[in-house]
A and B are shown apart, each in its own frame.
Chain A
Amino acid sequence: MLDSGGAAAAAPAEFPAGLRVLLVDDDPTCLMILDRMLRKCLYHVTTCSRAAAALKILREKKGCFDLVLSDVYMPDMDGFKLLEHIGLEMDLPVIMMSSDDHKDVVMKGVTHGACDYIIKPVRMESLKNIWQHVVRKKRNGSKELENSGSLEDNDRQRGGVDEGDNASSACAGSWKSVKRKKEEVKDDDEDDDDEEALEEHEDPSHSKKPRVVWSVDLHQKFVNAVNQLGVDSKFLLTLLKLVGIHYISEAVPKKILELMSVVGLTRENVASHLQKYRLYLRRVSMPQHQGRLDSHFASGHDASYDPVSLIDGFDVPGLAVVSQIPPQGRAAIHPGPRSNMNVGISASSVNQFGLIASGIQIANASNMVSSSAQQMNNKRMSNPQTPSNNIQLSQFGQTPSAVQPYGSMNLQFGKGMPNFLTSSSQPSSFSLPSGTMSGQMNVSLTMHQAQHLHQFSLSQQRSNINIPHSSGQVLNNNASHSSRLSSALTLQTSSNESSNHILGQLRVSTSITSLPANYIKSPFSTSRRDLYVDGQSSFVNGLSGSSYPSASGVGVSQQTASFQSFSSNHDLKGKFDNVTAFNTISEHQNRGHEWKLQRVNLPYQTGHIFGLEQSNLLSHSSLMSHHNSAATATNRDNNTGATVKDKITSLTNDINVEKRTSVAQHRNVYIDDNSVRLNYGVSPDMSYQDVYLDDMQNELMSVVAKQVTFEYIYDDYLA
């Protein structure tokens, strides 16, 4: 190849010559043509006709590629899924290609994080400039480094901005905010990722930074520092801002660094780690595999990561790699879209976040989530998730002190919550910050509950499961405390869906007095989420797809928020039965406070759109804060004459997607205790959709729970 670099011959002698491209296309003709075209552009080309092979290559040869060019429609894996995987694991710029030029599909590409979308047939001109995406990504990363000092501030600001946008009613207006949020979040994540990417890839324009290995100890220090300062939870911030509460997180990298007082650690290291942590927490909020609980506790540090890995099915494989997910977990992950939900579902994982989140009503497109969750549940669970949820809650409740923090947190949420939670017809903007909302919770939880929580053994958890399947009883048996938490969490399984999937109704006891009455409980689709109170990863089981009642779950002292979990409804493939979910929702609508379908616009990272099109959402699996998916979903839903229900559904889906993304990201980060850089293993089979389908609430809850869980795991591990 004629390197225009000539004598200079250094790799990027004359950029973009020598750009290392991985080309993935199942069509041999296209593959040949594109290969030739790329070579004509003087790029280094590696071809693949299977997505799985591409992932394998990327994983094995990390840092050997600058850019990925992938077809959308491939037999073994959806191009978008691949896109997500790559985004999560390697964070390379990915360009999608397809002869399908429908706006929807293109949008999907965008929302899933593609840097570009080229319509086939591909022309040379289109390929000549693909290098710009590499440069752009790197630049964003380096910019992040330069501005590392203001990283946290940026996040906060962004959160604020987004919130403001998202706070508007979910409608077309939210599109913008969603988009903006998405961009912001994306940038946020990108920056962080870029930072990492820079570490990984030899970027001639940036000096190589010595990679910081985040050992368990180091991470623990980090977490301690963060907790001390108060987790900078974007989500939390967003949420609070949404309700009019401004919470200034002190957990800025600088302070964290100071607290940690580790020699040689730079602010940038901490900043990027913090971002990952936030993402992790989000991810952790995904439903967890119940089966993991044991293993997680059992296995050393990997175990500590189990919760994380449990969370998302989609990154199970990756997790497996990094965190050595127990086979069962892995297996669990694969089956359905929300396989992770199913894993170990049987009952014992309680989603602590669920508790927290319960206070927050998220009109998530729980339906959508539910369906996917249900799908997953179908595969894995035979029982409604309720029991597990119960357990979770109860576990939670068992620790008075533990509960307390939640309570307080809930309060905080509650204040603002009612506003947007209760208005039935108004979609409330709800941003799920990329961080974890558990920030606050986390602090409190960790501090108060650390000792408590991780004493809960799995068995204990299980034993706490009280929630009867059908009766949607309060989760936990701990009256006062748990009630607080659990009240928020009432999961109802929609009976509409196939029985398998429907999680029992999880009624959260109403005694959550700390929360205002109209505290809305995010509807958790109990179908899949396990609520982990314990140090285990907490997933709000079945959160997905549950319609979020507007009634305040948590806060309502006398009310039980009921969530409808349409676990079985979750059909990530877009088969979600919105109608079913809606039916459930409408059933609940009459309950006083409780069910007010709201179109909560959960601008998770990028804002959520009340998308209607469930399938759209389902197919979205954006790794990197692809809130666009939510947006997309919204659009589509609109077409179908979205109703509030639809919106919720899509929202839920969006949330889930977001959740997954974040969780996946987080998970990756935390799986490997020996290195910062985790392999974002993503199970090729895992449908990211699952992630997306989770409702916002789940996300909230899981985020919170996760954080706590994570803490515990860590504690446990370190102990």
Chain B
Amino acid sequence: MEYSTLYNQIAMMKKSFFDQGFLDEQFYQIEDLQDDASPNFVEEVVTLFFRDSSRLITNIDQALGKLPQDFGRLDSLMHQLKGSASSIGAAKLKNECTVFRDFCHKENIEGCLRQFQKVKKEHASLRQKLENYFQLLRQVGPVEKANRSGK
């Protein structure tokens, strides 16, 4: 059945996210919060996350461009991004943020710049993945059993 295929697809996709380390267990927590009272909670949160994190990334970009670099501020901004990412279970993104912060602590501007590119890349990549994911979910409609199928 179409649905089952879709469900399978969704399930597979989700599984791959986890297997490849893009998402972690926290994402399940988010999913658990979705129920009849908040049927689109996961998507809402993720959307909110990407909106807010984009803003953060812009700020970091600006901070990196300002010379001399304020590592304290960079670290603080990245800390926020990291916190945000971890709250939705974006594991890989969180790790990239951590690496960036390490460079910050060492005041290694080169490392920071390089790492930031990775952060941005991962951010964009995750965004794309999740957008696809939600698109599929929307296709199966409000019967969001698929949410749990990946577990």
Contacts and interface: CB of A to CB of B under 8 A. Distances in A.
Interface of A: 26-30, 32-33, 36-37, 40, 73, 98-100, 120-124
Interface string B64-106: 0000000000001001101110111100000000000000000
Contacts of A124: 29, 32-33
Contact of A27 (B32, B33, B80): B80
A29 B45 contact: yes
B19 to A, nearest CB: 20
A546 to B, nearest CB: 30
A176 to B, nearest CB: 32
Contact of A36 (B41, B52, B76, B86): B41
Given A36-B33, A73-B76, A121-B29, A29 B84 contact: yes
A29 B87 contact: yes
B76 to A, nearest CB: 7
A32 B82 contact: no
B26 interface: yes
Given A99-B83, A120-B86, A29 B49 contact: yes
Interface of B: 26, 29-30, 32-33, 35, 38, 41, 44-45, 48-49, 52-53, 76, 79-80, 82-84, 86-89
A516 to B, nearest CB: 49
Contact of B45 (A33, A99, A120, A122): A33
B32 A121 contact: no
A73 B41 contact: no
B87 A33 contact: yes
B88 A27 contact: no
Given A27-B80, A29-B52, A30-B83, A123 B29 contact: yes
A120 B33 contact: no
B52 A27 contact: yes
5 contacts: A29-B48, A37-B33, A73-B76, A99-B79, A120-B86
A120 B79 contact: no
Contact of A33 (B33, B52, B53, B80): B33
Nearest to A30: B87
A510 B49 CA distance: 66
Given A29-B88, A40-B33, A120 B48 contact: no
Given A73-B76, A121-B26, A121-B29, A32 B44 contact: yes
Contact of B89 (A26, A98, A121): A121
B73 to A, nearest CB: 11
Nearest to A123: B29
A615 to B, nearest CB: 13
B59 to A, nearest CB: 11
Nearest to B89: A121
A26 B76 CA distance: 13
B5 to A, nearest CB: 31
Contacts of B48: 28-29, 32
Nearest to A100: B79
A73 B79 CA distance: 9
Contacts of A73: 76, 79-80, 83
A17 to B, nearest CB: 15
Nearest 7 interchain pairs by C-beta: A99-B83, A29-B49, A121-B26, A121-B86, A36-B33, A30-B87, A121-B87
A30 B52 CA distance: 11
Contacts of A27: 52, 80, 83-84, 87
B84 A30 contact: yes
A33 B86 contact: no
Q: Which of B35, B38, B49, B82 counts the most chain A CB atoms within 10 A? A: B49
B83 A120 contact: yes
A715 to B, nearest CB: 50
Contact of A99 (B44, B76, B82): B82
Contacts of A100: 79
Contacts of A40: 33, 35
